[in-house]
Amino acid sequence: MNLSARMIIVLTVVGLISGSFLSVVGLLTKERIAMNQQQEIQNAISEVLPATKTSHKVFEDESLAIYESRDEKDDPVGFAVYASGTGFQDIITLMYGIDPSFSKIKALTILEQKETPGLGAKITDKTAFLRYWEGRNCEQPLLLRKPAVESPEDLAASEVNAITGATISSEKVLDIVNLSLERLKEIKQKGQLSSEEKNAP
Amino acid sequence: MDILTLFVAAILVNNFVLYYFLGICPFLGVSKKIDAAFSMGMAVTFVMTLTAVASWMINHWILIPFGLDYLQIVSFILVIASLVQLVEMFIRKMSPPLYQALGIYLPLITTNCAIMGLALLAALKNYDFIKTVVFGVGSGLGFTLAIVLMAGIREQLDRADVPEPLKGAGIALIVAGIMALAFSGFSGMIK
Amino acid sequence: MPPKKSIGAEYLKGLWDENPVFRQLLGMCPTLAVTNAVINGIAMGLATAFVLILSSLVVSSIKKLIPNQVRIATYIVIIASFVTIADRFLAAFFPPISKALGPYVPLIVVNCIILGRQEAFSSRNSIGRSLLDALGMSTGFILALLVLSSIREILGSGTFLGYPLLGAWFKPWTIMILPAGAFITLGVLLGIAILIESKTKARSA
C-alpha cells in the first residue's frame, strides 16, 4: 500500500475511533454536567431567598437573569437576580434576592470572583461583607458607606458597608447590583417578565 | 465589557503570561535577545488572531449548533496545528526574508499554551466574533509586551553577578514574578 | 543505542534525574497556575497522569502502524481525546474542582510533557517500558506540584488541604497565592534543585 493511502487511512481510523469514544463520553456526562449547573443556581436561589420551594426563570440576556421564586403554598416569595460585571481583577458574578415589589434586597451571595485573596476576596465573607446587605432598601440606587461601620444597625437603609482595605472590590459589587436594579425596573415596565418552564429544586 | 476595555484588559490587567500563566515555555526560552523576543511576539500575535477567528467559527457554526461541544478540545488543537502548518508554508513561499526572521518560531507555537488558551478562554467567556478577535489581538500584544520587557531585562542581567544555581531559568522566573507584581498594579483601572 | 535501564530505573528517573518540571523545565504553565492550593495541585497532577499514562499505552501499542509523517497529528488526537475525557469527568463528578482548575484541564493537551514523552519514548519502546516511563514522569510531576502548592498554600493561606495549620499568630503572605508568588517560588525551587544536583555531582566526582 503506498504511503499517502496509508497516511490517510491511519488518520481516518484514529479520527473515527476517538470521535466515537468521545461521543459516548460526551453523552454520558452531558446530563450530569447540566444538572450540576442547575444545582448551583438552585442553591444560590435558596440561599438568597430561603423560603423558596420552586423557582423558574422569567428573563435572561447576556448580562442578567431573573428567577421568580415561590414558596410551598405557591405564593410569590420574590425574585432572584443573577448578574455579573467587571470586578477589580476579573469578572464578578453574584445573585441577590429581592421582594416582589422591587423595594427591598433580602440577601446577596457571590458566585464567582477572582479578587485579591485576603482583601477583595472578602466580598464572599458573610461576617465581613454580605450580612450588611440584608434588608437594604433599593428603591433608590444604593450607596457605599466608608469608612466601614461595625454594626448593621448603624447603616442607613440604602447604605452598604465597604470592606476596609478593599474599597474598590466593594464598590464594584455595588455597581453591579445598582446597574442590574436599573435594568430590573426597566424590564418590569416593559412587561418583559414572562413565565418559562418550572424547575423545582 | 466594551471593546476598548477588553483590549486594554487583555494587554495589561489580565496579561496572558503574567496573570494567566500561558506561554511560559517561549517566554523563558526566547526572551534572551530583544529582537528575537519581538519576532516571537509578532508571530504569536499573528497566529492568535487567526486562531481567534477560526476557533470562533468552528465553535459557533459547527460545535454548538450540532451539540458537539465535547469535541471542542480535539477540534481546537487540530485547527491550531493546521493553521501553524499553513502559515509556515505560506510565509516560506511569500516572503523568504520574513521566514528567516519568524519561521523557526512557528513550529514551536503549536504547543504554546497561549494559543490554545486563547481559544479556550474566548469560548469560555462566550465572546461574540468581534470581541473574540479583539481578545486575540490584545492577548498577543500583551504576550509580546511581556516577552520584550523580559528580554530587555535579561540582556542587562547577563552582565550581573547572578548566583550559579539561579542562572538561566531560575532568575528569569524570579524576574517574571517581580514583573507580575508590577503588572498587578494595573488591576482596578477598568471601569 | 544506549543500554536499556533496569525496570526500577526506568520508573525512578522521572522522580529526580529527569523530573519533568525541575530538570526538563516542561509543563510549567499548569505548575504555576493551579498550585495556589494543595488540593488543586493534586487534582491537576492526577488528571495529567491519567492522560499521560493512557496516551503512552496507546501510542506504544500502535507505534508500528503509524506512518512517520502523520505521527504528531496522531499523537495529538489521542492525547486530546483523553484530555476531553478527564475534563468531562471532572465537570460531571467534581464540579468545584473543575471550576477551580478552569481552563487549565483542557490545556493539559498542550502540556509539553505529554507530547514530549510520546515523541521521545513511547513511540520507540515496548508497552511495558512506556508504562513505567509514564508512571515515573507522572509521579515526578505530581511531586513537583505537591512541593510548590504546599509552599504556596502554607505560606499564603496558613492552611494545608484547607485545614488551618499555622494558627492565628501567622499573618499569611498573600503574595504567595498571587501570580508573583508562583513565579518566585518556582524560580527559587529550580535554583535549589540545580544546587542539590551540583553538590551530589561534586561529591561523586
User: What average pLDDT does this structure show over B113-129?
Assistant: 90
Residue B58 inside a domain? The answer is yes
Q: How far is B25 from chain A (nearest CA, A)?
A: 25
Answer yes or no: do A22 and B190 touch at CB < 8 A.
no
A200: Cβ–Cβ under 8 A, 6 or more apart, which residues?
A53, A54
Q: Report residue C59: phi and psi, to 5°.
A: -60, -45
Q: Is the pLDDT of residue C142 over 90?
A: yes
Residue of A28, A84, A89, A90 for testing the chain B interface, max B β-carbons within 10 Å:
A89
Does any CB of chain B come closer than 8 Å to the CB of residue A22?
Answer: yes
Residues 6+ apart with CB under 8 A from A30: B70
**Are the C-beta atoms of residues A89 and B187 closer than 8 Å to each other?**
yes
Residue A81 inside a domain? The answer is yes
pLDDT tens-place string over residues A174-188: 999 999 998 888 888
pLDDT tens-place string over residues C72-123: 888 989 999 999 999 999 999 999 889 888 889 999 988 888 988 888 888 8
Q: What is the dihedral of CA B191, C29, C109, B27, to 10 degrees?
A: 90
Domain span at residue A115 reads: 46-199
d(CA C136, CA A74): 59
Chain B stretch 74-113, residues whose beta carbon is closer than 8 A to a beta carbon of chain A: 74
The rounded mean pLDDT for chain B is 86
A188 min Cα distance to partner chain C (Å): 33
ipTM for the complex shown: 0.85
> pTM of the predicted model, to two decimals?
0.86
Q: Which residues of A touch B190 (CB under 8 A)?
A: 86
Determine the average pLDDT of the residues in C132-150: 92
Report the number of distinct structural domains present in chain C.
Answer: 1
Report the C-alpha gap between C188 and A170 in whole angstroms.
35
What digits encode the pLDDT tens for the residues B78-117? 898 888 888 888 878 877 877 776 666 677 776 678 899 9
pLDDT confidence tier of residue B49, bands split at 50, 70 and 90: very high
Q: Say what the pLDDT of residue B191 is.
A: 63
Chains touching B (3+ CB pairs < 8 Å) = A, C
> Mind listing the pLDDT tens digit for each residue in B151-188?
999 888 888 888 888 888 889 999 999 999 999 888 87
Q: Is residue A131 part of a domain?
A: yes
Boundaries of domain holding B163? 37-186
**pLDDT lower than 50: segments of chain A:** 196-201
Residue-range definition of the domain harbouring residue C12: 7-204
Across B69-79, average pLDDT? 90
Which of B16, B27, B113 is most worth mutating to test chain C (most C CB atoms within 10 A of its CB)? Answer: B113
Res. B56: pLDDT tops 80:
yes
Nearest CB among B70, B190, B191 relative to A25 is that of B70
Query: Exposed, middle or buried by CB within 10 Å (0-12, 13-18, 19+), for C1?
Result: exposed
> Residue A90: which of B190, B17, C198 has the closest Cα?
B190
Chain A touched by B13 (CB under 8 Å): yes
Mean pLDDT, chain C, integer:
87
Domain count for chain A: 1
- Identify whether A75 is part of a domain: yes
Residue B144 lies in a domain: yes
Residue C21 cell numbers, joined:
518540571
A93: DSSP letter:
E
Task: Report if residue B27 sits inside a domain.
Answer: no
In a domain, B30, yes or no: no
Q: Does residue C1 form part of some domain? A: no
* Contact (CB<8Å) C174/A117: yes
Residue A200: predicted pLDDT: 43
